[in-house]
């Protein structure tokens, strides 16, 4: 199946990162329309995440609290149609402490207990900058 990679998957990492940054910038300009009522009430400084199946394995995508889960997933799905959605939620990382949980109302999808371990691996991964929209220059 490696030969069936999409054009997005074949792009260099720099182009993927630029595409994700463009998504975040466009969503940030219209953030008032992206929030559901409960998301506006918010959970403080929590970041959001989705877990997708990408290239045969689970992958976290994290992003700022003001962006809807569904917007990030739908963009990702347009760029790479073969991804599948697994879970979605919120996380707060503070040093070695990590909390994750909640649910995405815009996707009508819960987080899972095993997301905490996946998030821990994600936060220490050398590839994190390719999937973490909160790290893109001033996006928060």
Q: What is the pLDDT, as a whole number, of residue 97? A: 86
pTM: 0.69
Q: Is the pLDDT of residue 120 over 70?
A: yes
- The three-state secondary structure class of 51 is strand
In degrees and rounded to multiples of 5, residue 100 shows phi and psi of -145, 150
How many beta carbons lie within 10 A of that of residue 38, not counting itself? Answer: 11
- Is residue 37 pLDDT above 50, yes or no? no
Instruction: Write out pLDDT tens, residues 42-99.
Output: 333 689 999 999 989 999 999 998 899 999 999 999 989 999 999 999 999 887 788 9
Radius of gyration of the CA atoms of the chain, in A: 14
Please report the DSSP string for 57-93 in residue order: EEEEEEE-TTS-HHHHHHHHHHH-TT-EEEEEEEEEE
Which CA distances in Å does 64 have to 39, 69, 91? 12, 10, 10
Q: In the Cβ-directed half-sphere of 49, how many Cα atoms lie within 13 Å?
A: 31
């Amino acid at each position: 199946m490696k030969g069936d990679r999409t054009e997005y998957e074949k792009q260099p990492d720099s182009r993927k990162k630029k595409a994700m940054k463009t998504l975040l910038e466009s969503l940030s300009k219209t953030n008032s329309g992206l929030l559901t009522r409960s998301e506006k009430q918010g959970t403080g400084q929590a970041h959001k995440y989705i877990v997708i199946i990408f290239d045969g394995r689970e992958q976290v995508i994290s992003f700022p609290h003001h962006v809807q889960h569904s917007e990030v997933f739908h963009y990702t799905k347009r760029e790479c149609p073969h991804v599948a959605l697994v879970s979605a939620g919120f996380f707060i990382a503070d040093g070695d402490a990590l909390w994750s949980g909640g649910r995405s109302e815009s996707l009508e999808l819960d987080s899972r207990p095993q997301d905490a371990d996946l998030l821990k691996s994600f936060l220490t991964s050398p590839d994190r900058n390719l999937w973490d929209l909160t790290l893109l220059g001033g996006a928060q």
